[in-house]
Structure 1
Amino acid sequence: MFTKQMKGNFPMRHSMNRRYHNWNYTSPAIYMITITQENRRLPLLGKVIVDKHSNIPEEILAHCEPTRLGKIVWKTWKDMMNSFPGIRPLYFQLMEEHIHFILQVMQFLERPLGKHIAAFKARCTQQFRQLYNSPTGSLFARGFQDTILFRKGQLPRMFNYLKDNPRRLAVKRLFPDLFRVTRYIPFDTGFLNGIGNCFLLQAPYFYQAQVSRSIEVSSVDFQRKSDEMAEAVSQNAVVVSPCISPGEKELAKIAFQHQAPLIALRNNDFPPLYKPSGAYFDACANGRLLLLAPPGLGYQMGHRKLTRTEACILNSIAQKICGDFAADISYHGLVPAELEKLVASSLQPPTH
Structure 2
Amino acid sequence: MVKQQKWQWQEPGRAWKGAGLYHITLTIPDRQPLLGTLDIPEGDPTKTVVRRTPLGNSLVNCLLDIPNHHPEVQVLHFCLMPDHLHAVLYVRRTMPTGIKGMVRGFWQGVKKLGRASSVSPNDIRSNHQEGLENRNRQEGTLGLREATLGLEAFAEGLKGQMSDEAYYNLPSVFTEMPFIRPMGRKTQLPNTIRYIDMNPQRLATKRLKPGFFRVQQGIVIGERSYDGVGNTTLLIAGRFMPVHVRSIWVKAAEHGDSQALREYKNGCVLSARKGVVMVSPFISADEKQVMQVLLNEQHFFILLADNGFRDYFKPSDALFDACAAGRVLILSPWPYNVEKRKISREECVALNEMAEEICHQLERDRD
The interval holding the TM-score normalised by the smaller chain is 0.7 to 0.9
What is the rounded CA distance, in whole Å, between the counterparts of 2:283 and 2:111 in structure 1?
47
2:39 partner amino acid? I
**SS at the partner of 1:313?**
helix
CA distance in structure 1 between the aligned counterparts of 2:354 and 2:229, rounded to whole angstroms = 17
Determine the structure 1 residue equivalent to 2:28.
37
The answer on whether the counterparts of 2:35 and 2:53 sit within 8 Å (CA) in structure 1 is yes
Q: Distance between the aligned counterparts of 1:109 and 1:323, measured in 2?
A: 58
Q: For 1:229 and 1:243, how far apart are their aligned partners in 2?
A: 12
Counterpart of 2:248 in structure 1 is 214
Q: Deviations over 1:306-334 (max 9, x none)?
A: 223x33322222112222899xxxxxxxx
Aligned with residue 299 of structure 1, among 313, 327, 337: 337
CA distance in 2, matches of 1:237, 1:128: 52
Partner residue, 1:49 = 39
What are the within-5 Å matches in structure 2 for residues 142-291 of structure 1? Answer: 142-216=176-250, 219-291=258-330
Q: Could you tell me which residue of structure 2 aligns to residue 105 of structure 1?
A: 91
Q: Which has the higher helix share?
A: 2
Distance (whole Å) between structure 1 residues aligned to residue 351 and residue 264 of structure 2: 19
Q: 1:302 to 1:88 in 2, by over 3 A?
A: farther
> Pairwise CA RMSD of aligned residues?
2.4
Structure ranking higher on relative contact order (CA contacts 8 Å, 6+ apart):
1
Distance 1:130 1:210, change over 3 A: closer
Distance in 1 (alpha carbons) for counterparts of 2:24 and 2:115:
23
1:178 is displaced (CA, Å) by: 0.8
Return the letter of the residue paired with 1:153: T
Max Rg structure:
2
- Aligned residue identity for 2:112: Q
User: Hey, what does 2:126 align to over in structure 1?
Assistant: none
Separation of aligned partners in 2, 1:266 and 1:70: 35
Q: When the two structures are aligned, how many residues end up with a matched partner? A: 299
Out of 89-98 and 214-223, give the one that drifted further: 214-223
- TM-score (normalizing by structure 1): 0.78
- Answer yes or no: is the 8 Å Cα contact 2:236–2:362 preserved in 1: no
Percent identity between the aligned chains?
Answer: 30
Unaligned ranges ≥5, structure 1: 1-20, 327-352
C-alpha distance in 1 between matches for 2:293 and 2:78: 34
Out of 73, 76, 85, the residue aligned to residue 87 of structure 1 is: 73
> In the alignment, does 2:128 pair up with 1:116?
no
1:60 deviation in Å? 3.4
Deviates more, 1:128-137 or 1:155-164: 128-137
Counterpart of 1:320 in structure 2 is 357
Partner SS, residue 89 of structure 2: strand
Is the 1:90–1:102 contact (alpha carbons within 8 Å) kept by the matching residues of 2? yes
Within 1, Cα distance between the matches of 2:109 and 2:116?
Answer: 11
- The structural deviation recorded for 1:88 is 1.2
Change in CA separation of 1:168 and 1:106 when aligned onto 2, cut-off 3 Å: same
Counterparts in 2 of 1:22 and 1:270: CA distance versus 1, 3 Å: farther
Helix, strand or coil: the match of 1:192? strand
- Alignment match of 2:19 (pick from 12, 24, 28): 28
Structure 2 gaps, min length 5: 1-11, 121-166
In structure 2, relative to structure 1, the CA distance for the partners of 1:127 and 1:258 (3 Å cut) is same
Equivalent pair of 1:31/1:103 in contact (CA under 8 Å): yes
Secondary structure in 1 matching 2:77: strand
Change (3 A) 1:38 1:212: closer
Give TM-score scaled by structure 2 length.
0.75
Contact kept, 8 Å, 1:35 with 1:141, in 2: the verdict is no
**Aligned pair in 2 of structure 1 residues 60, 53: CA closer, same or farther (>3 Å)?**
farther
* Matches of 1:108 and 1:23, distance apart in 2: 9
Distance 1:300 1:138 in 2: 26
Q: In structure 1, the residue corresponding to 2:247 is in which secondary structure?
A: coil
2:5 matched residue in structure 1: none
Separation (CA, whole Å) in 1 of partners of 2:116 and 2:360: 63
Following superposition, the deviation at residue 204 of structure 1 comes to 0.5
Q: SS in structure 2 opposite 1:305? A: coil
SS in 2 for 1:75: helix
Question: Is residue 107–residue 178 contact of structure 2 (8 Å, CA) maintained in 1?
Answer: no
